[in-house]
Structure formats: structure tokens, C-alpha cells
Structure 1
């Protein structure tokens, strides 16, 4: 019974982890008012966890901890530092706790995916799909719940409530067996278009997601309504699920151009219909991410790891860039995203090309 609980705790871990990580997005203007800070002051706190994930992904494998211990410590760290950050007195203190959250969260994804074949056997591929879906759904519902809770209890209390389940989850993860594999892998610099693609995808995702609450609040939308707009992340799940049929019909590059078209169309619609535009944009982004991840996998573990690192680096850059746009017309941000998609269109043929000889 305890082993079964731990196994399913692994599947749902991403739901609570990514829900907590992204929960502050709809609350950014409200958090800044509570600190008495200027619009955009929360930017470092939105970059910090992405940098933490990058640094932590280098640190955790070197510790040689048992898988259950890594997962439990990671989940507990995200919960504890999220709880402390909820009551931070200013943006830079909050950014410090958010950096610590990213460092803790980095313990989970790689360890979790390496455990799935051992825990689920022939159903490992199915379990992988469950984990990815839980990550995406958790991010959507975490943002929405933050808005709803903040409307009743205030932003700090909302973030605190969303941190508490992780402390219980850590206890359920502790019994998991095994140790992650430790191996050195080479990064192929020829795959640079793929790395730029990954960075562009999370940058455009979080750049818009960070700016939306300012746009919506200016339009008179309350905290609960702002949080509900982030349910558009369900569009990301739909986009990823459509990749297989699209590749079968149009090929990988054709599917990539279709996904890019969806993302660009969504960006155009953002100004007038934020929910529909954001959902369409995310459908394209997550479809491209699925294609990029598959292409990285063909290159091998080194390129795959570098692709994930570039993806999160793009998210960190989004947190650094969006404060400069908080006081400007939202159309300028949309034009920046569309320009980025134009560059992405030029990268696609090389980014999704079959892996070249790897010296095998």
C-alpha cells in the first residue's frame, strides 16, 4: 500500500509542483502593491526559479541521493520556500525564496522520469503521458486557484495555502527506491537551432503570461477572473496531443509550421479576446515544444538536456524582460512576440532536421 501510494504520488507530484511555481503570475500587480513597489518589480522573482532549475539540475545528480530522498527533499523545499516567499516583505526577498524554490524543484523532473520504467513497467510510456498532463494541468489550476484564493484571503495567504500540499506530498515520495543514473554526456553544438527554439518557446509563453495580469487588471478584471484566464493552459495540453496526428499528415516540419501558425494567430487575438488568444497561442507553443523535445531526443541525452536547459533559460529571460513592458501598450509586447515567431519560422527547418551523425 505504501509503495503504491508513493508510485502515484510521483505521477501527481508535477501537478502540485508546477501549480505552486506558476501560481504568482495572476497576482503580480497585487503583490507589487502589497510591497509598495513599482509595476514590474516582481520580475526578478519570476526569473529566479528558472535560474534555480538550471543550477539545481547540475547540483542534484552529483549528490548521489536515493531517488525517494531527492524527490521528497525537492518537494518539501518547494513547499517550504513557497511558504516563506508568501510572507516576504519585498520583491528582492521574494526573489531569493523563489530562487531557492527553483533549486529544490530541479531535484524532481529528471529523477521522476528515470523512475517511471521501474515503477510502471510496460505502462511507462502511458505513465509519462500522465506526468506531462499533470504538470500542465497543475500549472493551469495553480494559477486559477491563486486568483480565486487571493480574491478571498489576499495574495500572500493564497500562495501560502498552495504551498502546504507539497509538505504532505514529500512524505509520500520518501519511500521510492533506486538512484538516478550518473553519466557524462556530450552536447552537440550543431544542434544550436534547437536550443534557440526551446528558449524562444518558454520566453514567449512566460513573457505573455507575466504581462497578462497587468493588461487584465487595467481592463477592470478582478483577481478571480484573472486567475480563470490561466485555465487557457489547457490549450497547451490539447496542442501537444495534436502533434502525433499532424506529423502523420504533414510531416514534422509541416506540423511545426502549423503549430507556429496557431501560436501567431493566438498572439494576434490576445488584445481583444485574451482567453481565446492565449489558449490558441499556448496550443501552438506546446505542440512546438513536443516536436522540439522529440528532435532533441534523437540527438541523444546531451542535446536533450541542453534543450531543456535552453527552454528554462528562455523562461528566466522572460522574467527579466517583461517589467520593461508593464507601462507600455500591450500591442508592443504582441509585436515583439510575433517578431520572435518570425525568427522561429526561420529556425524550424534546421531545428527539426534529423540528427546528424553522432559518431556511433
Structure 2
């Protein structure tokens, strides 16, 4: 039974991990009121875990720990920092604890992928697909759960409750053997457009996602409704799947153009139809991310790792930028996203064009 639990713990690790990392998003205005802080003061706390993920991904593989021990320590670290952060006295302390949460979280994806061949054998590729899907679903349900729980237990209670399952996950994963095989990988010349492309995608995603609770709360949304709004992230997976299908028929550049069109249409709808607009924007961005990840994979391990780092760095930057747009009309933010999508369109052909060489 422990072995079966371990298998599910590895596949489901990202579900609880990303559920905790993104859970505060619908609670941002409420957290700031609790600290008597200005609107946008929580921005660095939304940025910090993304930066922690990038830094931690460089550090954890150097520890020499078994993958099971690494996953367990990472899960416990996320639970601890998330629970402490729930009771942080102010935005600066919260940002510091969220950085710790991101550093701990970085152990989980690498350890999980390292364990898949040992636990699933020839079905490891299929298990990896479930793992990635669990990340997206976990992020959506973490946001929704935080809003619903905060209605009854307050923002701090909601964040603590969401962190508790990670303790059980750590217990299930701890005995697992397996580890990393380290190899030298380089990023070839010419990968810059692809890396900038990836950074822009999560930036646009989280820039809008961080702004929405302020706008929706002003429109009368309660905490539970704010959390439920983020269930549209579940539809983002459809965008990724559709982009992959279109790439097979039309090629990655034309498929990317279609995804970019969906993102632009969603941006145009955000002001008047926020639910439909955000859903379309996410479908387009997730589709572009799927194509970008595939393009990075074709170029080899070095480019793939650099692409993931650039992606999360873009998300980290979004947390620092969105507060500047809170006191301004929403049209400013929409224009900013539109300009970013235009830059993405300019990068599209060079970022997604099939590479002729692979790195090591």
C-alpha cells in the first residue's frame, strides 16, 4: 500500500505544490487589508516564489540527496513556509517567506521526474503527461479552494489548510530511491528569441491574473467567487492540446499565430467580459507555452532547462510590475498586454522555427 501511495504522491506532487504557490492570488486584496498595506503591496510576495523556483532548481540537484528524500524535504518546506507566510505580519515578511516556499518547491518537479522511470517503467512518458496536467489542475483548484476556505476561515486559515496535505505527501514519498543523472548541457547561440518568448508568456499570464482580483472585488465579487473565477485555468490545458494538434497539421509557427490570435482576442474582451476574455487569453498563452516548450526540447537539454528558467523569471517579474497599474484605468493594463503580445508576434518565427542543431 505504501508503494501505491508513493506512486500517486509522485504524480500528484505538482498538484499540491502549485496549488499552494498560486493559492494567495484571489486573496491579494484581503491580505493587504489585513496588513493595513497599500494595494499592490503583496506584489513582491507573488514574485518571490517564481524567483525561488529558478534559484532552487540550480541548487537541489547538487545536494546529492535521493529523489524521495528531496521530494519529501521540498514538500515539507513548502508546507512550512506557506503556513508561516499565512501569519506573516506584513508584506515584506510574507515576501521573504514566499521566497523560501519557492526554493523548497524547486525540489519537487526535478525529483518527481527523476522518479517516474523507476516507478512507471515503460509508462513513464504517460505518467509525465499526468504530472504536468496535475500541475495545471492543482494551480486552478488551489486558487478556487483558497477563496472558498477564506470565506469561512479567513485568508490565513485557508492558506494553512491548503498546506497540510503536503505533510502526507512527504511521508509517502520519503522512502523512494532513485536520483539524478547529471550531464553537461549548453544553450546554443540563437536561443535568445525563444527564451524571451517564454519569459513573456508567464509574465502576461500572471500580470493579468494578479490584477483581476482587485478589479473583480470592486465589481462585487466575494472571496469564494474570486477563487472560483480562477477555475478558467482548467481550460488552459485545452489550449495547449489544441496548439499541439495544430502544430502537427500547420507547423509550429502557424499554430503559434493561431494561439496568439486567441490571446489577443481574450485581451480585447477582458474589460467587458472578464471570464470569457481571461479564458481565451489563457488558452492562447498555454498554447504558445506548449509550442515554446516543444521548440526548446527539440534544441536539447540545455535550451529546455534555460527555457523553463526564463519562463519562471518572467512570472516573477510580473509580480513586481502589476502594482504600478492598480491606480490607473484598466485600459492601461490592457494596452500593456497588447504591446507585449505584439512583441511576442515579432519573436514568433525565430522562437518556434524548427532548429537544425541540438545541444548536448
Q: TM-score, normalised by structure 1?
A: 0.98
Contact 2:40–2:326 (8 Å) recurs in 1: yes
| 1:86-139 deviation line (CA, Å, top 9, x unaligned) | 000100000011000000000111221222222212211211111111100000
Contact 1:80–1:167 (8 Å) recurs in 2: no
Pair 172,203 (structure 1): closer, same or farther in 2 beyond 3 Å: same
Distance in 1 (CA, whole Å) between partners of 2:124 and 2:334 is 39
Aligned-pair CA distance for 1:248: 2.4
5 Å matches for 1:47-126?
47-126=47-126
Distance in 2 (CA, whole Å) between partners of 1:178 and 1:132 is 20
Contact 2:52–2:103 (8 Å) recurs in 1: yes
| 1:172-205 deviation line (CA, Å, top 9, x unaligned) | 1112211111222112231111100110000000
Gaps (5+ residues) in structure 2? none
Contact 1:86–1:157 (8 Å) recurs in 2: yes
Distance in 2 (CA, whole Å) between partners of 1:95 and 1:130 is 31
1:17 aligned residue:
17
Contact 2:61–2:180 (8 Å) recurs in 1: yes
Aligned-pair CA distance for 1:329: 1.2
Contact 1:144–1:230 (8 Å) recurs in 2: yes
Q: Comparing 308-317 with 105-114, which one deviates more in the overlay?
A: 105-114
5 Å matches for 1:122-141?
122-141=122-141
5 Å matches for 1:70-219?
70-219=70-219
Q: Comparing 100-109 with 241-250, which one deviates more in the overlay?
A: 241-250
Aligned-pair CA distance for 1:36: 0.4
Contact 2:29–2:213 (8 Å) recurs in 1: yes
2:238 aligned residue:
238
Corresponding residue SS for 2:107 = coil
Distance in 1 (CA, whole Å) between partners of 2:244 and 2:48 is 34
5 Å matches for 1:284-295?
284-295=284-295
1:7 aligned residue:
7
Distance in 1 (CA, whole Å) between partners of 2:50 and 2:188 is 23
1:274 aligned residue:
274
Distance in 2 (CA, whole Å) between partners of 1:265 and 1:175 is 48
1:318 aligned residue:
318
Pair 224,359 (structure 1): closer, same or farther in 2 beyond 3 Å: closer
Contact 1:3–1:175 (8 Å) recurs in 2: no
Contact 1:44–1:320 (8 Å) recurs in 2: yes
Pair 154,63 (structure 1): closer, same or farther in 2 beyond 3 Å: same
Flag as ranges the 4+ runs of structure 1 deviating above 6 A: none
Distance in 2 (CA, whole Å) between partners of 1:243 and 1:114 is 27
Contact 2:299–2:359 (8 Å) recurs in 1: no
1:308 aligned residue:
308
1:340 aligned residue:
340
1:351 aligned residue:
351
Contact 1:41–1:323 (8 Å) recurs in 2: yes
Distance in 1 (CA, whole Å) between partners of 2:80 and 2:8 is 22
Distance in 2 (CA, whole Å) between partners of 1:119 and 1:258 is 38
Aligned-pair CA distance for 1:358: 4.3
Gaps (5+ residues) in structure 1? none
Distance in 1 (CA, whole Å) between partners of 2:305 and 2:189 is 13
